[in-house]
Amino acid sequence: MSLNVDLSGEAALITGASSGLGAHFARLLADRGAKVALAARRLDRLTALAGEIAGLGGRALPIECDVTEPASVEAAVAAAETELGPITILINNSGVAIAKKIFDTTEEDWDQVLDTNLKGAWLMAREVAKHLAALGRPGAIVNIASIVGLRSMKQLATYAASKAGLVHLTHVMARPTSTANFSPAPLARRSPSASPPDGSASPPTWTARSCSSPPMPGATSAAR
């Protein structure tokens, strides 16, 4: 995936940045000039990625964060803004999937997936949106959803429920009465193991609709 836009002066926070799509998005945004806050639970991997980005001339801040805990989310956003300035781009990428038949799925399985994929994205989006609104700054929130949130797939009931909820949460966030001066965007991929989609960016607005756009200030929505 390429991103043909200059993000110099922007600060981005990427959750689930210790591996996979999160690390990919962090490298991509840093390559286009953004300062990146790398949030996840595995601090050792974040530190290694931050060193890699710094070695290429970028600026990255590793932050240990559990997106299911409100205090951890608040602390992560505060730490990122203290070091990098106001967060204008949020990539809500943290996610887990548990593949089981519906009658084998436990309450613990349900809570783990929904808390990470849906509650965690809501907590982080709410915190960043509050900060942007207080500053009167424009920004972009990209929620990493899934095609499984739009179509059923066997043995992924918890994952599908979480991603369907995330897609609709994003659309509600994008309504004029819900937010102001932000661009919530659900970015979806084909399955939990698929690679990131290709696409092009849109100009800054606070709207959400389904498309295949990479994260940037004002990006509109897409699917995983």
Residue 117 lies in a domain: yes
Please state, in angstroms and rounded to a whole number, the distance separating the CA atoms of residues 98 and 121: 18
- The pLDDT tens digits for 103-129 are 999 999 999 999 999 999 999 999 999
Residue 194 lies in a domain: no
Residue 133 lies in a domain: yes
Domain that includes residue 126, residue range: 11-187
Cα torsion 160, 116, 187, 219 to 10°: value is: 150
Residues in Cβ contact with 209 at an 8 Å cutoff, skipping those fewer than 6 apart: 174, 220, 221
Q: Is the separation of the CB atoms in 194 and 222 below 8 Å? A: no
Q: Is the separation of the CB atoms in 199 and 216 below 8 Å? A: no
| Residues with a known catalytic role | 159
Q: Is 156 helix (H, G, I), strand (E, B) or coil?
A: strand
List the CATH number of the domain containing 149: 3.40.50.720
Q: State the Rg of the chain over Cα.
A: 16
Residue 4 lies in a domain: no
Please state, in angstroms and rounded to a whole number, the distance separating the CA atoms of residues 110 and 93: 18
Query: Which pLDDT belongs to residue 182?
Result: 56
Residue 138 lies in a domain: yes
Closest CA to 36 of 78, 73, 90, 72: 90
Residues in Cβ contact with 53 at an 8 Å cutoff, skipping those fewer than 6 apart: 26, 27, 30, 36, 59, 60
- The pLDDT tens digits for 11-39 are 999 999 999 999 999 999 999 999 999 99
Q: How many domains does the chain have?
A: 1
Residue 132 lies in a domain: yes
For 12-32, give the DSSP string.
EEEETTTSHHHHHHHHHHHHT
Residue 196 lies in a domain: no
Query: Which pLDDT belongs to residue 32?
Result: 96
Residues in Cβ contact with 133 at an 8 Å cutoff, skipping those fewer than 6 apart: 179, 180, 181
Residue 224 lies in a domain: no
Mean pLDDT of the chain: 82
- The pLDDT tens digits for 31-74 are 999 999 999 999 999 999 999 999 999 999 999 999 999 999 99
Residues in Cβ contact with 152 at an 8 Å cutoff, skipping those fewer than 6 apart: 160
Query: Which pLDDT belongs to residue 157?
Result: 92
